[in-house]
Amino acid sequence: MVAKVSTQQQLIDFNRADAEAALLELNLKSIWVRDRKAKVRVSAKTLKSVIMRICSHQWTSGVCWASATTIAKVLNCHERTVRRACTGLVDLQLLVIKDKRPGKVIRYAINWGEVGSFNNRPNPGHSDGNPGHSDRDPGHSDQNPGHYVRRTLITSKEPHSSHSERSSDAAAPIAAPDPWAVVVSAFLERGMSPDGAFKAVTTAQSRELTVDDAQRLIAVWERLRAHQPHVTIGWLYRWMTGQSRPPEDAREDRSARAPSRSVSLMSDTTRREILRARLWREGRNRGLSEEVIEARFRELTEGNLMATTAAAGGAR
């Protein structure tokens, strides 16, 4: 369903603060959209982030029509995630499509004529006339934190009228918990910021890591931190996002073996992380930029001076 531009849209004239306030008040709920041969659930938080970014794009660039590619770059997420959210917002008549031709970029704009009256609908947050979008549908539960999407394959045996034939008195099935939400909770409990936890998970998903991979990295981080208190949550974040790898000697439990005194207790990866942390701390105190700090780090590591620097730091 493609939304039509409301006749009231041409009469609305307000500033950016008014526009963002109107969007923040939208009572959005998670919805199901079709993506090829699958039903995909898009969270309310994703819908809100995408429509807010389209609004911001209008004022910052002077261009009303923001492409899904542009939004994905700004939100640092996959372009397909943005397209799913845009499809849902079009179904809700909150977005309109300017042009949709084969081989062309689809561009969207906010249907301001529908924004003001959206919360006054009988069932705001869902597409009109679709019983499958009722509040009894567990697929619309907002208990799943973050911008995560759950895929449900549609088989040929599923009748097309399954949603419409559902009785309003039937008990709703219990929604299965999102395993990635458990990973996010583990990150938050260990001191990672909400934004950092979200970015770590979305980047890990784009790298095709599994929940088991994330749990394994958490276990490695905890073992390493038990032996080396200077290890911070930033190490785990960089492992998840692929910026660095966990040290080889921390991937197994070291409590069962006593290291030889003639062998260094720290791997090269550990030294790199210690060096990076010290350079960032000293660089920030001196007011250096991120580019200068990272350039200094690459200079030391690529010049094979890391061992000398680590030894000098230990002698302080």
Query: Tens of pLDDT along 159-218?
Result: 444 443 343 343 434 344 467 888 888 888 888 888 888 888 888 888 888 988 998 999
Q: Are residues 252 and 195 in the same domain?
A: yes
Burial 170-202 (b: 16+ CB within 10 A, else e): eeeeeeeebebbebbeebeeeebeeebbbbbbb
13 and 126 together in one domain:
yes
Are 237 and 109 found together in one domain?
Answer: no
Residues 194 and 143 in one domain: no
Q: Helix or strand or coil: residue 122? A: coil
Q: Is residue 176 part of a domain?
A: no
Rounded mean pLDDT, 233-245: 90
Domain identity same for 143 and 248: no
Does 168 map to a domain?
no
Residue 280 falls inside a structural domain: yes
Count how many domains the chain has: 2
Do 102 and 198 belong to one domain?
no
- 11 and 125 inside one domain: yes
Cα dist from 80 to 2, 118, 246, 261, whole Å: 19, 26, 30, 52
Residue 109: beta bridge partners? 96
pTM for the model:
0.37
Q: Which helix (H) or strand (E) holds 39?
A: strand 38-42
Least confident range from 20-34, 124-138, 302-316: namely 124-138
Q: Quote the CA–CA distance of 306 and 298 in Å, as a whole number.
A: 10
Same domain for 203 and 148, yes or no, is no
Residue 161 falls inside a structural domain: no
Specify if 172 maps to a domain: no
The CATH number covering residue 64 comes to: 1.10.10.10
CA diameter of the chain: 79
Per-residue pLDDT tens over the stretch 97-147: 766 677 777 777 788 778 877 877 665 544 443 433 433 333 333 333 333
Q: Nearest CA to 53 among 27, 29, 33, 81? A: 81
**Which has the closest alpha carbon to 313: 289, 282, 267?**
282
Residue 160 belongs to some domain of the structure: no
**Are both 25 and 145 inside the same structural domain?**
yes
> Are residue 22 and residue 107 in the same domain, yes or no?
yes
Range of the domain at 281: 183-314
User: Residue 34 — very low, low, confident or very high, per pLDDT cuts 50/70/90?
Assistant: confident
Output the pLDDT for position 178.
66
- Whether residue 83 lies inside any domain: the answer is yes
Which residues have a Cβ under 8 Å from the Cβ of 270 and sit 6 or more positions away? 224, 228, 247, 249, 250
Residue 75 in domain: yes
Contact 65, 98 (CB under 8 A): yes
